[in-house]
Amino acid sequence: MRGREFINHRFNETPFLEDSHRKVRALAERFALEEGVIEENEEAARRLVRAMGAGGLLEHAGGTDLRSMAVIRETLAFHHGLLDLAFAMQGLGSYAIEIAGSSELKAQVLPKVRSGEWVAAFAATEPEAGSDLAALSCRAEPRNGRYVLNGLKTFISNAPIADIMTVLAKTDPAAGSKGIGMFVVLRSDGVQCSRRQEAIAYHPLGELTFRDCAVPEDRLVGRAGEGYKIALTVLETFRTTVAAAALGMAGRAIADTIDRVQERRQFGARLADLAVVQSKLTDMIAEYEAARLLVYRSAAKRDGGASRIPVESALAKLYATEAAQRIIDAAVQLHGGLGVTKESAVERLYREVRTLRIYEGTSEILKLVIAGNVLK
């Protein structure tokens, strides 16, 4: 069996999915194949967002049908990390508005994000507030009918290219996590990408500086003091889809490895005929299958009406991202020298997968979430 044939087969065997999800997969697959070779630069990232809007993919970037979003991320990540990122950030950067924004804010922002006209970002992390988001110090002071934002955000995906961002800032510094608001900020409000940050794999990433950046009062999402809670809901929802991206990357590594070990001959035989190779490949497939079930069970539970999926989403992200790292490492090993060169996709996957264990909750923080829910 060829590698891609195997992955298609496993996708088709996935429980929890309906016909609509298979159609969405075909849409994402067609998009990725038509894009072909992906350029890794900011212009390409922006163009991809527009093309996804025109192609109808971004209609699924909200969190209303989490399985569709997961299917698309799995499919795009199979082809290239930047395809996945371009899609995912339109959802992550606007989901707060979808769940807690006023109808005016929704009408003003969501159509432009879903059409790809506006590139979106989600700005929470600060130099002194990473895993501990409640420690953030970016300030939003009410002044003459506006909120004036001052502070610095770091490691923000799409910081160099975003037109619109949802931003966490303190409205009441004395109130801890209950004194944080979520704001919609437009690039045209004066926010600056003050530094670009180069990651291990291509990712439009950088710092955002807010210096007396004034936004109208009605750009507050929900109520002042609700921002932290809204951010946790956004992260909880999207964690399942990060897990789906990890699944896509792991699937690509497995597909390419299946092909490689059947083609490559050493000692007069195919690598695929060696028991040690078969054993390694089987371990990869077992972890892949387990990750697949966790991802789609979590998404299906949410789609089935569960308002919260803290344990399911954390388990899915923890397991799928850690497993994808192991799977891709094994794929590089089975590719031999070819696996560390730019001629193989597994070299890129090896770099791309690394960040998934860090953003939207590190593996260590996810363990705290899971244990905290189990042991309460």
Ligand X SMILES: Cc1cc2nc3c(=O)[nH]c(=O)nc-3n(C[C@H](O)[C@H](O)[C@H](O)COP(=O)(O)OP(=O)(O)OC[C@H]3O[C@@H](n4cnc5c(N)ncnc54)[C@H](O)[C@@H]3O)c2cc1C
Distance between start and end Cα atoms, the chain: 47
Nearest distance from residue 325's CB to ligand X, in Å?
14
For this structure, is 360 an active site residue? yes
Nearest distance from residue 23's CB to ligand X, in Å?
29
Count of residues in contact with ligand X, rule CB under 6 A: 20
Quick one: which of 180, 158, 137, 169 has its CA closest to 93? 158
The DSSP code for 267 is: T
For residue 199, state whether it binds ligand X (rule: CB under 6 A): yes
Distance CA 290, CA 300 (A): 15
Choose between 44 and 365: whose C-beta lies nearer to ligand X.
Answer: 365
Torsion of CA 211, 212, 218, 223, to 10 degrees: 70
- Taking each helix axis as running N to C, give the angle between helix 310-335 and helix 275-303, from 0 to 180 degrees, rounded to the nearest 10: 160
Distance CA 111, CA 117 (A): 9
**Active-site annotation holder among 34, 289, 360, 364:** 360
For residue 321, state whether it binds ligand X (rule: CB under 6 A): no
For residue 46, state whether it binds ligand X (rule: CB under 6 A): no
**What part of residues 110-129 is at the interface with ligand X (CB under 6 A)?**
122-125
The DSSP code for 135 is: G
For residue 202, state whether it binds ligand X (rule: CB under 6 A): no
For residue 130, state whether it binds ligand X (rule: CB under 6 A): yes
Contacting ligand X (CB under 6 A), which of 14, 90, 94, 157? 157
Segment interacting with ligand X, rule: CB under 6 A, options 100-108, 173-181, 244-252, 353-361: 353-361
For residue 296, state whether it binds ligand X (rule: CB under 6 A): no
CA distances from 50 to 69, 70, 76 (A): 17, 20, 15
Distance CA 358, CA 246 (A): 12
Contacting ligand X (CB under 6 A), which of 38, 138, 359, 369? 359
The residues annotated with a catalytic role in the active site are 360
The site for ligand X (CB under 6 A) is made up of: 122-125, 130-131, 155-157, 199, 203, 205, 355, 358-360, 362, 364-365, 368
